[in-house]
Amino acid sequence: MMDAIDLFAGCGGLSLGFIKAGYKIIKAVEFDESIANTYKENHPEVEMIVDDIRNVDKADFFYPGAADIIIGGPPCQGFSMAGARIRRGFIDDPRNYLFKHYYNIVKRVKPKAFIMENVKGMLTMQQGKIFDEILRLFSSEKQMNGNPYHVYYKIIKAVEFGIPQGRERLIIIGSQKDVPFDEVWKLAKEKIYEEYPHFFERVTVYDAIGNLPKPTEDGKIDNPVPVTEYQKYLSCDKKEITNHKKTKHSKKAIDRMKKIGNGQNYTQLDEDIKSVHSGAYGRLSWDEPATTITTRFDTPAGGRFIHPSENRTITPREAARIQSFPDDFIFTGANREISRQIGNAVPPKISYFLAMVINEIERY
């Protein structure tokens, strides 16, 4: 068993996959207390540090050899250095502190490997200079105090991992081992096939949420019998599951939803909808994957999140299914907080695959 630290842990999507693959998460860091509460609810065995990453970096929370793996996705809003300044000032720009402290902790702990998850746009930010600088920092012997990493990266699509949504993300993996990365990626797939033959099959919205009953006032429902392979993968043996509560919509919003068919959106409405999202008031189709689940899946104007056959947006449990969270995972907090937790999470099926990739790298 290898020990892992989860930085920027959120509600625990990355942790879930690593735990499933046999890792022990020894510490997790999350700044937002309401989000950390969901993590603690589901992983009481993990030491959760609820604090700003700047304070965590300065304090003695982590030491050389504290963990074998570090995982996490530092938000990238501050990656804004440009031109000739980038090599000189990127790591010291206060706007990039989230990444800087992730880097500092990796540098101090010196794990066997690390995983960073981020938006795919990071590859092209500032004509690729940001990404080049990140690769340089981790692979430089000088910058890493004599412990440089071999850095590998891929843009991954959720649908290719048997997840019913169009999410794409950049995955960066650093390892102290120099391995043929495409080969270990393939070996991880083969290992998963052996245990879960249906893991990578295409999944539709119906495959994901088709067996869920009508939402309830308190969000609790009797645990439905899983029908599809995807439902079986996420199923649990609890008597009831939670978070299946619908959003209360205005009469105006409901009247709008009634006019929209499968795969259609606000363009079917004879009115001017003020929304920055091109898929506003979009209805999901039963026989296709969903679009990317975002933090606004509870809002009709937030994107294509209307239930395929009911005039409401999808519930947190339905969004969690589409994100590949297991049915026994409990989300706590206010409705808005829960939407943020689910929308910002790394899908646990992707996390599990990445953990298996690390296994193969270490085994190589």
> Which are the catalytic amino acids?
76
**Residue that is written with structure tokens 């938000």 in the block:** 75
CA-wise closest residue to 245 among 202, 192, 298: 298
113-119/150-157 β-pairing: unpaired
Pairwise CA distance, residues 174 & 70, whole Å: 10
Here the tokens at position 310 are: 């009911």
Residues 6+ apart with CB under 8 A from 212: 221, 224, 244, 315, 317, 318, 321
Positive or negative, the Cα torsion across 339, 232, 17, 218? positive
Can you say whether residue 199 is alpha, beta or left, with left for phi > 0 and alpha for psi between -120 and 50 degrees? alpha
